Structure 1
Amino acid sequence: MARILRTALVALACIGAWLPAARAADVRAWLDRDTVQLGETVALNIEATGTGASAPSFDALKNDFEVMDPSSSSSVNIVNGQATAKQLWGVSLQPRRVGRLTVPALAVAGATTQPLSLNVTAAPAATSGNEEIIVELSADPLTPYVQQQVSLTVKVYVAVNLSDYELEPLQAQGLVIQKLGQGRAYDAERGGRRFRVLEQRYAGLPEKSGTIELPPLKFRGRAISGNDPSAMFFGRGRMVSTQSQGVTLDVKPRPPQSGDGPWLPAQTLELSAAGIDASAGGRVGEPLTLTLTARAQGLGFEQIPELALPAIDGAEIYPDKPTTRTRDNGTWIFGERSRKFAIVPTRPGTLHIPAITLDWWDTAKDQPASAIVPAQDIVIAAGVAGAAAPAVPPAAADTPATTSPAPADAAPVSDAGPWRTLALASFALWLASVAIAFWWWRTRAGIARVATPTRTNDSTATLGSRGAFARAASGGDARKCARALLRWAQAEGIRATHLGELAAQLDSPAQRDAIEALQRACYAADGAGAVPSQTAAAFAPGFTRRSHVAASNDDAALPPLWPKSSRR
């Protein structure tokens, strides 16, 4: 009886210890923007795992915010047979004052959220109160360095119902423009009038120093009356139009104190190394794998130079093919370049891997900076006598390697007689049959390959743009060549506003490699790069497109006025 009682008490204690953890759900809170103007609304979202939790109280927010439009939803996700339930609460917050405001920690589902910070700026000068549509174009900073990211924001304020609308695309000579994330829609008050606001952000990269003009953006739409619900279906309504103010950028050249290396104007830049444990040591002939990665905020991967290791005394270095990507968080672009290196020690002792430095320009502090991977010392033991030589990484085939002589005491290879000859001959015949079958299959499949060169449009515009590219490719200006290539692609019906978008739609590795080389030439020291030699040859047969690239409205200049076409 006593034993049963002890077991029951232990079980109750375990359950008691588990229950508080079960009640405390994982919660998180976030704002859809971190900077707003006075009069605008911002969405606060709170998510908690589990079900049955009560809605959080928003009373603590009412001193600094007007709390509006509360909503809630729940969902269940099943992954590998395991269900995860989540609850989501959302409210719209309208700040009551200018300044740095804090959304305090809120209690929900037995846990608390993290405090959030919101920057509230003054609203622009009040309008006359009669405007139905207002378009604003802003840029930050207005005096960037060449190749530094400029944050471009387009806002359209709408005070009437629209059946359709369009905004001219954002473009400027000498400025590479890239859309950032999806557009936002929210409410704002201007001059005592309520507006629906459509916002889209872009990244602009100046290609040259000097003055760059962003022309006014023109907006056109069809306003309909709320008393005529059929107007939107029959094209009735009155036309409305307006335009923004233009913006002027005064682009500064590369400063002399930045040095002679690659020009990297970034908000942040890190250089890291992984894969080698110095305390574990190494052995002669056994490769050590080092992964070198550079990440930059405010730069595309094309602007980051190729990563390389300095010569290492007592080791051979075999670089792998680099991996690259550029992503964005709706405000910044983030470029990343990574590369693996196989370091093969050639003698015992201490292997010294020198420090690796990448110089860059800190645009936040307006001063030079350096990202450094510290040097490492690794103790290398002698190789095992008679051990097989390690395999050289495939990507190192174009890197000269040293062949070590066989040990003096290695046993001679015995003669296997005619059976070995027969086996090798049979294997060779089998390989030949496989190769012939593969060639036959490729020949048959070639008729219906999904990646086929784009049929050349015979229009004058297409022929002219193709000829302009050929002339630019034979010249010495990488930027002119890039612009000509984009104009040709657009004439062929390819929707691409910058080289990265174009490369993503091409199936030919040679054409994608040529575009990457052209991008790197465009971002050479202050744009003085020459056209890479492979550019013209890669595009001689025309564009080889991926057939699975589907058309979408992701590149729309503005988000929907109302989510899922719903009307307020």
Structure 2
Amino acid sequence: MVSRIVVLICLVLLPLQAVAALSASVDRNPVLAGEFFNLTIRADQNVKGEQPDTSALLKDFVVGPTSVRSNTSIINGQVNHTTQWQVELMARNPGDYTIPSFAVANMQSSPITVKVVAASNADTQSKDVYIETSMENSELYVQQAGVYTVKLFLANDLTEGQLGSPELENANVSQLGKQKESYEIIDGIRYLIIERNYLIQPQKSGKYTIKSPYFKGRIRDNYRTRAASAIGRDVQLTIKPIPENISGNWLPSELVTLNEEWQPEKQSYQIGEPITRTITMTALGITKEQLPEINLPSINGVRSYSDQAETNNLVRNGKVISQKVESFALMPQTPGTHTLPEVRVPWFNVITNRIEYATLPTRELTVVGDPNFVQPTITAPQVSNAPTSDIKEDSITTRVETPIYYWPLVILGYALWLITLLIMWFKRKPVTTLAKTDKEYVPSANPLPALQTAVKENNQRAFYHQLVKMCKFHTGSADLTKLNNVINNPQFAEAINHLQANLYAGKNHTVDLKFIYQQLNNLNKKPKSENELTQLY
């Protein structure tokens, strides 16, 4: 009886023991440094909502994405479930590494020891894919910018691939511009070269290692594709601290220069004449964000207005060059000679290890008055050399010589004036009639149809010409202010102002000609007495 119970317990526990199995394995061992290999973690049951924690692998390996799949099989009526995780790993350097154990759903795997060997030089040279890394300077100051270059060499056509980014602790790493592609023949093999430049800006002093980016993808090999991977050489960096004697803005660079341009460039300027002063700051080995602002002190007699600065950077011979262009508008207000002070920008020379200054020298700005303005000249009266006591007031006389033709012109003008009065006397009836209508000008026809034609053609100039005629028709004057008083509509007055600004001030306002025409048409429909009453008011 007891033996039967033992057998029954074993039959129950054996399936449970099989379910609790979790194993880990690699597809090859040893592996080459710089090549990806596969780590497979397998659970003999259906696991949902959980997966192995692979963060511990980041210490020794480049860890690719994790893929998961589940499988169910029935053998001799027995149902089997499996869950499998696959992770791609790469070791940067040769050595012996331990893949730790993993725990999933109360199951735990055993650790694995992986041996990583270095690829021989012959294998490296014959590889279809390899990476070269370089950096111009192996020593930098804190916040000094360096350029890190990565070149990927491909001897076969690439079907798919992924190129990672360099890694550096306590530093800002960003790609500069777009990648470049070129072709080069090396040892009789034609390679496609993909080049990327990265801006490296350390933030702390010490010794650091730039971990090379890796490549993983598939290349075409005759009529099939195969997996390919590569990794470059790590670069060692020494980061120097900021010197203790530095105060203010920290600008570590190999060279900083200031240049200026004047538009217009003249010996002297007139009062109110606008002058554009453009200052360009160029620096080697720093980012465009590090370039300081250019502040010009205020000058009595000259107004100054700064424009928005433009910044950019580029890479030349493995070095980053940054530039800031800032423009200032100067407006002289008073004549004379104005002194523009020196412009100084301090920076730290990383070659000589000392503070230097980029400068613009002082400049004299000569301002003169408007040459078209003529100052009135006052001539003092001539005084004889006689003593003052001998000069009497009645001895100072003013003598005005009258020309011969003076009186004949006076008589002729008086006669013409009398003739004009006689002509006006004989024509006084039409003038009286005009006075009763209180009009200075009465056109023969209403310009409203011509206004309508100008509206259809959207011709602002022709419309304005007819508008002046309409103003004369209703007010007897070409003064549009009187027409605004008759219409008595603020929108109408604003539309007229915009129309005048477009025609005579070079503006580009939107003017609703149809609205103006409607207001004039309504005015034309009103009784004449009502229009006169509005104008009088």
TM-score range, shorter chain: 0.3 to 0.5
The structure with higher relative contact order (CA 8 Å, sep 6+) is: 1
Kindly name which structure, 1 or 2, has the bigger radius of gyration based on alpha carbons.
2
Q: Structure 2-normalised TM-score?
A: 0.44
TM-score (norm 1): 0.41
